[in-house]
Structure formats: C-alpha cells, structure tokens
Structure 1
Amino acid sequence: MPGTQTETTLPASAQRVQDHLHQNGFACTVFLLPHSTRTAAEAATAMACQVAQIAKSLVFRNLDTNQPVLIIASGAHRVDITKIEHQTGLRLGKAEGTYVKERVGFAIGGIPPVAHATPLVTILDTTLQSYDQLWAAAGTPHALFRLTPDQLALMTGGTWLEVAEQVGS
C-alpha cells in the first residue's frame, strides 16, 4: 500500500495489535500512516473507503460492574446507548480517557477491536455486515488494519446488535 509502513517499523501499541492478530491466526497487516486516522472521517479519507466501512471502537463503562464495554460501530453512525441498553440489559455510562487507557490498554483515538488489557464484553454494529471490507484502528491514531465482518466477529467474540441512533429521533 503506497505511503504506508508495515510491522517492521510499528510503534509498540500497534505492534501489540499486529502480534495479537498473527498469534491468533489472522493474516491482517497493520499499516502505519503519515496522517491521523483518529476520526472515522480521517480514516476513510486515508484508506479511500466509505466512512461506514470504518469499524470504530468505542469504550463505555458498565455502571453496574464498572467494567469496560466495547462497542464497534460503523463510522457513519452515532451510537444509541438507550437502544443498546434495551437489547442487553446493560447500564452504560461514559468512559473517561484515563479509565479507557487503564482498563483497555489503549488511548482513545486508536482503540483496536483486539489485544486489550483484559477481555471485554463486545457489541458489534450489524451495519458493518453490509460491507466486504472494513478498516479498524490498530493501537495508535496513525495505524489501521483491514478485515472482514466475519473476521471481526471471530476475533472479538462480539454480539451483533443494531446500535445506530435513528436520524431524526
């Protein structure tokens, strides 16, 4: 891929993602990009894909257990917490940056779907199943990797749910 570097020059957090992928049988390659991919729009521009193909990883706090919950949503969506709570019985709250870094092991803006500090309850946006190819963060705001919806489900053990906020609601 032009303008990218692969695993031989990855920062430690991106290398951790690459190692996790390979150790778990996924042939995905982490790419390091010269420009930020912190937002779904930036990532889509960098990868010349639709914003909806960006699998953005959002961490929330389970208000009952104080454990992190990972929601992997299409970059084109705002997540509807109430909808998720109704489907799962979870009570979700905002997770601050310090909480995310300590509990998940990655900073906001580069949270990958895998290689977390501890196993996470994971919810996957059903919209992502509409695409043959997705892109996900790989540990830094400059690293991404390509995957399929099937790979996403296998690598995360996540549950597919409708998570998108309805436009006009």
Structure 2
Amino acid sequence: MAKRPASAGTPATVALTAAGVPFALHPYEHDPAAPSFGLEAAEALGVEPDRVFKTLLADTELGIVVGVVPVTGMLDLKALAAAVGAKRASMADPSVAERRTGYVVGGISPVGQKTAHVTVIDETAQLFDTVFVSGGRRGLDIELAPGDLLAVVSGRYAAIAK
C-alpha cells in the first residue's frame, strides 16, 4: 500500500499521513438508501464483509468510548464496557457522536477524530492482513493493517462483537 498525501482530504487521511502509516483509499459510489453503509461498502469494494469494520460510539460513566467491529456483527455493549473498565455502556446519541468526532454518522472514522477517545477494536481484526474502516465520509473507505490502526488510535483489542 502506498502512502497517500495529506491533501487526500479528510482528518483520517491527514492523521494517517502525519503518522507515517501506509494506507490505501477506496472510494465508491454511496447510495443514501442503502440499509447498511458497511455492507454497502463491502459489496461496492468487492471485499469480504468480515474485513470491513464500522465505528460506533458508546456512552459510559467513564465518558465516550469508541468500538470498532465488523459490519457483519453488532457491538456488544457489555463487552465494550468491560474492555474499558466501565460498568455499563449505551449507544451514544448520533448528534453527540458527530460533534465529538467531527464526522457524520455513516462516515465516522476511528482515525482523526476531533476529540481523542478510548478505542477498542474487535479482536477479529487480527485475523486479516488488512482491514477497511471509514475514511471520514460516506463513500470512502481506508484499507490498512490492523496493527497500524491499533497504533494510530492508541487502542486495544478485545472481543466486543456479537
């Protein structure tokens, strides 16, 4: 994968470039009527859906946390809470998620968020050489090594998908 210039355009690509992380951009034609943005991305890009991850924000008594899980599954809120040492977690309000990340719902990237959050990536990401996450807008995914993703978001792996 070749490095992309910072001018590629989103906070996610700027952050990856600044960190020296190799990544590949994968734009696709987004359909606003698609029932699942993540599954739409997998189909449009011709990759197995288990390699495409969605970024979700949850509210805990410790604050907002980020869960990154395969688009084929759901975020296990109890497991996410346990992974960060919280008692419980609930999905963050979409307007809060947009405000805290600087991205729109359906295009929230785990990388380059306006506010840094504790980030947990589902452990299944380690099964692949590369994974796909939102590039910071609908219709743009970033492909990168899961270890690089983990490092750039200062995250941790845990079993948080169901």
Q: Under TM normalisation by the shorter chain, which class is it?
A: 0.7 to 0.9
Alignment of 1:102-141 (within 5 A): 102-141=99-138
| Distance in 2 of aligned mates of 1:25 and 1:9 | 14
CA distance in 2, matches of 1:9, 1:89: 38
Aligned mate of 2:10, from 15, 18, 29: 15
Residue type of the alignment partner of 1:20: A
Shift, 1:107, TM fit? 1.4
* TM-score, structure 2 normalization: 0.85
Shift of 1:8: 9.5
SS at the partner of 2:58?
strand
Alignment identity in percent? Answer: 22
Q: 1:41 maps to what in 2?
A: 39
For structure 1, the 5+ residue unaligned runs are 1-5
Q: Does 1:56 align with 2:51?
A: no
> What is the DSSP-based 3-state SS (H/G/I as helix, E as strand, rest coil) of the residue aligned with 2:104?
coil
For 1:80, the equivalent position in structure 2 comes to: 76
**Deviation string for 1:110-166 (max 9, x for gaps)?**
01111011111000100111111211101111111111111111111111101122x
Aligned residue identity for 2:54? K
Paired with 2:5 and 2:78, the residues of 1 have a C-alpha distance of 39
Distance 2:17 2:6 in 1: 14
Spell out structure 1 runs of 4+ moving beyond 6 A.
Answer: 6-9
* Equivalent position amino acid for 1:49 in 2: V
Could you tell me how far apart the structure 2 residues matched to 1:29 and 1:140 are? Answer: 15
Aligned counterparts, 1:130-169, within 5 A: 130-165=127-162
TM normalised by structure 1 equals 0.82
1:68 to 37, 61, 64: 64
Aligned partner letter, 1:18:
T
- Find the aligned partners of 1:87 and 1:21 in 2 and give their Cα distance: 25
Does the 8 A contact of 1:7 with 1:31 survive in 2?
A: no
| Aligned equivalents of 2:138, 2:67: Cα separation in 1 | 18
The 1:8/1:82 distance shift into structure 2, 3 A limit, reads: closer
Query: Is 2:22 the counterpart of 1:27?
Result: yes
Q: Which amino acid aligns with 2:93?
A: E
CA distance change for structure 1 residues 27 and 100 in 2, over 3 Å: closer, same or farther?
same
Gaps of at least 5 residues in structure 2 are: none
Alpha-carbon distance in 2 for matches of 1:86, 1:68: 14
Q: Which amino acid aligns with 1:56?
A: K
Give the letter aligned to residue 84 of structure 1. Answer: L
Q: Which has the larger radius of gyration?
A: 1
